[in-house]
């Protein structure tokens, strides 16, 4: 394989590495934060791309399987969460993401039921899976850098 530039560290221009330190590696690398590439300082990388990729806050995934096309951003998703509940006379059975609380009706917002009890059925995914404000696998943060010269 022909090197595109200085190959003293065994990496070709344009290769991406995960960096686990808060300090930056040598000037031969640019952080993958979407920045534009200086064509005079990094001409070989500039010939490959005009901006470095922006990998902040995203997971890199190998091509194939359920991945999207090379270089494309794939949106987040979760597996389907399901559950059932059954009302038979006064008995209610539930499972999965559903929970119930028996209440005595005391208002008129749903009609005139008098003292008839009702069941409030709730859907809560946290009953069956870990939840957060985002979808994510188990992870540790790294910084991505691209070989620039």
How does pLDDT run across 71-126, given as a tens digit for each residue? 899 988 888 877 777 766 666 777 788 877 766 555 555 555 555 666 677 888 88
pLDDT value for 105: 55
Does the domain spanning 1-6+15-63+141-149 belong to CATH 3.40.50.720? no
- As annotated, the residues of the chain forming the CATH 3.90.1340.10 domain(s) are 1-6+15-63+141-149
How does pLDDT run across 11-54, given as a tens digit for each residue? 999 999 999 999 999 999 999 999 999 999 999 999 999 999 99
Task: Please answer whether residues 30 and 146 qualify as being in contact, where contact means their C-beta atoms are separated by less than 8 angstroms.
Answer: yes
- Kindly state the average pLDDT of the residues 68-73: 91
pLDDT value for 91: 66
pTM for the predicted model, two decimal places:
0.69
- Kindly state the average pLDDT of the residues 124-145: 88
Handedness of CA 35, 38, 42, 46 (dihedral sign): positive
User: Of 52, 71, 56, 72, which is closest to residue 143 (Cα–Cα)?
Assistant: 56
Categorise residue 71: left if φ over 0, alpha if ψ from -120 to 50, beta otherwise. left
- Kindly state the average pLDDT of the residues 132-138: 84
pLDDT value for 83: 74
Residues 6 or more apart from 86 whose CB is under 8 A from it? 92, 93, 94
pLDDT value for 101: 72
pLDDT value for 117: 62
| Distance (Å, whole) CA 107 – CA 49 | 66
Write out the E strands in the chain: 16-19, 29-31, 85-88, 91-94, 98-104, 117-123, 143-147
| Distance (Å, whole) CA 108 – CA 101 | 19
């Amino acid at each position: 394989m022909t090197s595109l530039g200085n190959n003293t560290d065994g990496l070709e221009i344009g290769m991406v590495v995960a960096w686990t330190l808060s300090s930056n590696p040598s000037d031969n690398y640019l952080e993958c934060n979407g920045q534009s590439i200086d064509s005079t300082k990094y001409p070989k990388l500039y010939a490959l791309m005009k901006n470095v990729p922006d990998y902040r806050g995203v997971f890199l995934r190998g091509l194939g399987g359920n991945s999207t096309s090379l270089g494309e951003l794939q949106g987040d998703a979760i597996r389907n969460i399901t559950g059932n509940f059954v009302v038979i006379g006064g008995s209610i059975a539930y499972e999965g993401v559903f929970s119930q609380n028996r209440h005595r009706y005391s208002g008129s917002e749903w009609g005139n039921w008098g003292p008839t009890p009702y069941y409030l059925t709730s859907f809560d995914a946290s009953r069956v899976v870990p939840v957060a404000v985002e979808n994510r696998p188990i992870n540790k943060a790294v910084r991505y850098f691209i070989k620039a010269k």
